[in-house]
Amino acid sequence: MSILAWTYLIVGLSFALYIGIAIWSRAGSTKEFYVAGGGVSPLANGMATAADWMSAASFISMAGLISFMGYDGSVYLMGWTGGYVLLALLLAPYLRKFGKFTVPDFVGDRYYSKTARLVAVVCAIFISFTYVAGQMRGVGIVFSRFLEVQIETGVIIGMIIVLFYAVLGGMKGITYTQVAQYCVLIFAYMVPAIFISILLTGNPIPQLGLGSELKEGGYLLDKLDGMLTELGFTAYTDGSKSTIDVFFITAALMVGTAGLPHVIVRFFTVPKVKDARLSAGYALIFIAILYTAAPAVGAFGMYNMLNTTVDKPINSMPQWVGNWQKTKLIGIEDKNGDGLVQYVKDPAVNELTIDKDIMVLANPEIAQLPNWVIALVAAGGLAAALSTAAGLLLVISTSIAHDLLKKSFVPDITEKKELLAARVAAAVAVVIAGYFGINPPGFVAEVVAFAFGLAAASFFPVIIMGIFSKTMNKQGAIWGMITGLVFTISYISYFKFISPELNTPDNWLFSISPEGIGTVGMILNFIVSFVISRFTPPPPLHVQELIEDIRVPRGAGAAVSHH
């Protein structure tokens, strides 16, 4: 069977499964829509969390970044994994105990203020949109290559599918769909990785294959270093970023991830606080399987790509190049007319341009694996993008229906109307997300990195101080969030959109890149909120007692329940 036939079969079956699950688990109440009725098992929730966490950025983009950036790509690996640990240990159990569905809900109640809630809603919606645009872009890339349609058409197909099961099933539908999507995406990621690892090194474990000797002699990473330095690039195992920048980007990704609204909600879908901790542990194991394999996938892809294209005749390129040229994500232009492909660092001489986001998807084709494996990867990429997109759309719709309408503007709204509002909001959100997917502000992982910087600068300090400081009050929280957000957005906009020609380490503040500036925004947020809450009245007594109650679990002797 051809790749196209296999793709239709495997993607079609996986979609039928997701939609079937969505229909089977339709949400009937707002509780089912927002938190799946609170009855999901820790193992299933761990899988769903892992699928929610591992977006198109993890599945498609991360190994692609690592294959082109080499050592520098490791910031994404460390930041995203570290962020998950931070979230599971520092925030999730406390927020779960507080019992709020959404971050704005926590902020509004903890800081006893509608203004604080509104600022938080704006942040949540903004971050979620930035992030969801990246997912939609990933969906478009997969569809455009494997169903041989335009990227725009691909994004639209993706929009319709997400809309269907996010709007129908709410959190309940999404949770069980994500369990299925995790199984699809991890299988799709590991099968080609294991295949290629055996082909190149004879070692069936890709994580070990990365450091192994190749069958044709020599170590894989040494070979890659040699090939790339010959072409004028930095060696694969060398970093070009300054240590301070690596630190700040990693920190922004970590802290930003920990403040990401769509993952925090997952911890409300289990019955007890203990289950929330358990599911966090399971999720970490499920996430680690993919994250530890990503460096190997990136290196194998780069090695095979260089071997099959560089200095080879243009008119007899391997089939995969032709397949991807149709999507316009690979371009070849014979600049010196010698009929061979030149791939070098100097853009004036370079004849081969490759979109970083295609590496994982093209990997099985480059290694000439069977067609069903190639189709499986397509299904995996879609599963990764759709699972996260659905989680994010839910955050947007609950922020609007629950936090804006019910808690701020229409307090006496009926449950039925609130559910309708959430569904309408999700539908509008999908359309906007689709627009950004078709006209993206950067490649997938870069767009996502911005979302993390903004989350780091706005949410994280407010949540942490809200849990661990009794003196933190509403004035501090509001001004802290505004300061962090305005600073971070201005810095990113200036270097990325207003004066991109100045976007070099010499012009950056303390040589910190726009991707890492969220960490500085976070520090400013902490300072401002700390100083302002020192000079303004402390929070009311019931709020202080509430914080005491969250931190010291019931039954610990000292704490008295105030309910």
Domains annotated for the chain, with CATH where assigned, are 3-313+367-551 (1.20.1730.10)
What confidence score (pLDDT) does residue 559 get? 41
Could you report the per-residue pLDDT of 238-284, keeping only the tens digit for each?
Answer: 877 888 999 999 999 888 877 666 777 777 777 777 887 888 889 98
C-alpha–C-alpha distance, residues 69 and 144, integer Å? 25
More confident residue, 22 or 195: 195
User: Tens digits of per-residue pLDDT, 344-371?
Assistant: 888 888 888 888 888 888 999 999 999 9
pLDDT score at 561: 45
**pLDDT of 518:** 92
Residue with tokens 């992030």: 131
> Which pTM was predicted?
0.82
* CA–CA distances in Å: residue 427 to residues 138, 152, 340, 420: 19, 18, 49, 11
* pLDDT at 84 (0 to 100): 84
Q: How far apart are CA 431 and CA 429, in angstroms?
A: 5
**326 contact partners, CB below 8 Å, separation of at least 6:** 145, 148
> Of the ranges 5-19, 28-42, 204-218, 429-443, which one carries the lowest mean pLDDT score?
28-42
Q: Is 561 exposed, middle or buried (0-12, 13-18, 19+ CB in 10 A)?
A: exposed
Give the DSSP letter string of 13-39.
HHHHHHHHHHHHT---SHHHHHHGGG-
Q: Centre a 10 Å sphere on the Cβ of residue 159 and count the other Cβ atoms it contains.
A: 22
Q: Please answer whether residues 419 and 34 qualify as being in contact, where contact means their C-beta atoms are separated by less than 8 angstroms.
A: no
Give 313-319 contacts, CB < 8 A, sequence gap 24+: 313/339, 313/340, 313/341, 314/339, 314/340, 314/341, 315/339, 317/341, 318/366, 319/365
Can you spell out the DSSP letters for 498-542? I-GGG-STTTSGGG--GGGHHHHHHHHHHHHHHHHHHSSPPPPHH
Average pLDDT over residues 495-523: 87
Sign of CA dihedral 518, 520, 524, 530: positive
Lowest mean pLDDT among 294-298, 360-364, 442-446, 457-461: 442-446
The pLDDT tens digits of the residues spanning 376-412 come to: 998 998 888 887 887 788 778 878 888 788 877 888 8
Mean of the per-residue pLDDT values for the chain? 84
Q: How many CB atoms lie within 10 A of CB 191?
A: 17
Torsion sign over Cα 500, 504, 505, 509: negative
**Which pLDDT value is given to residue 403?**
79
pLDDT digits (tens, 9 = 90+) for 135-152: 788 888 888 888 778 888
DSSP summary character for residue 316? G
Residue with structure tokens 């950056």?
508
